[in-house]
Amino acid sequence: YSIGLEQDETYIPPGESLKDLIEQSQSSGSGSGLPLLVQRTIAKQIQMVKQIGKGRYGEVWMGKWRGEKVAVKVFFTTEEASWFRETEIYQTVLMRHENILGFIAADIKGTGSWTQLYLITDYHENGSLYDYLKSTTLDTKAMLKLAYSSVSGLCHLHTEIFSTQGKPAIAHRDLKSKNILVKKNGTCCIADLGLAVKFISDTNEVDIPPNTRVGTKRYMPPEVLDESLNRNHFQSYIMADMYSFGLILWEIARRCVSGGIVEEYQLPYHDLVPSDPSYEDMREIVCIKRLRPSFPNRWSSDECLRQMGKLMMECWAHNPASRLTALRVKKTLAKMSESQDIKL
């Protein structure tokens, strides 16, 4: 059986699922994912099934490894910095969390002149939160579940863990509904870490990725749009994430039915800027006019939506220092669920 293996492959016994392999490596290994040789072997054995998405970095495919579905992100050769960054962040110790997209493997396939950069992760058939909200209306429980699970993932990213293994604090820098995936059970996980920055408190250094790509204009906070963000201060990036998260809460809440009414799905600022807004468009609305997405009237007569409205306003405050932290939002959502008798 092992005759067919090449130099850089290793034997993975039949009957080992990806979950088994990852759990074994969590308990015995470095805590930062599968051994590289195992990753390469899995990558080589994947059959690409169909393209399920594309973006500025490349395309996403659904693939299969020994019958299990996986997602394969294939990066353009020009986006090597994004591939490298995302791979590096996923392999940070203690990164595994139920609300962060599960990393399986990364590999480079080269055929001389052509290089393919692969990132292999868990597959979630519901697709992104953006796709899901477009096609699905929510009740209070479903809304709180999406919001709470998303902020739990964000909270894990933002939190530095001090221990023998330890985990740096990480800011996402491109949070939007297209970069959050919805799992079968109606909870979310955060994806697309190609722009993330790490903070290691021992050295007090902010480790900014070398790639020039910046986030999505529509979700950029005022301090990024007017270039007042302090790039050497890690907390700036954390608070920038919270502004973007406020917009995501707005997208979710609009799709929650109350009094028999629900809004069509829309992107934030849909009524204020063109569909592919420029920096100038966004700066005028967000920084100069200081406008924010508006609330449907019906929210005022639903206690839960009223509280959600208050929460998003406290996330997208103009002043970064007044914004809520992910942990604060997580605690508030947990309290709201409790008062609604919802088990998260």
Q: How far apart are CA 57 and CA 118, in angstroms?
A: 11
Residue 159: phi and psi, rounded to 5, are: -90, 130
Q: How far apart are CA 88 and CA 210, in angstroms?
A: 13
- Tell me which DSSP letter residue 308 carries: H
Of all helices (H) and strands (E), which one includes residue 301? none
Tokens 């009740």 identify what position? 139
Sign of the C-alpha dihedral computed for residues 213, 171, 117 and 73 taken in this order: negative
Tokens 């090449």 identify what position? 6
Q: Which amino acid is at 139?
A: D
In the residue annotation, 226 being an active-site residue is answered as no
Structure tokens that stand for 24 in this block: 């074994």
Three-state DSSP at 18 gives helix
Q: How far apart are CA 297 and CA 161, in angstroms?
A: 42
Tokens 């910046």 identify what position? 214
Q: Are 133 and 251 in contact (CB under 8 A)?
A: yes
Q: What angle do CA 76, 173, 61 make, to 5 degrees?
A: 35
| Residues 300, 301, 303, 309, Cα dihedral to 10° | -20
Tokens 């309290």 identify what position? 335
Helices (H), the chain: 18-28, 36-44, 80-90, 129-135, 140-158, 222-225, 234-254, 279-282, 303-315, 326-339
Q: Which residues are annotated as a binding site for ATP?
A: 73
Active-site pick, 174, 192, 241, 302:
174
Q: Which amino acid is at 59?
A: E
Return the active site residues.
174
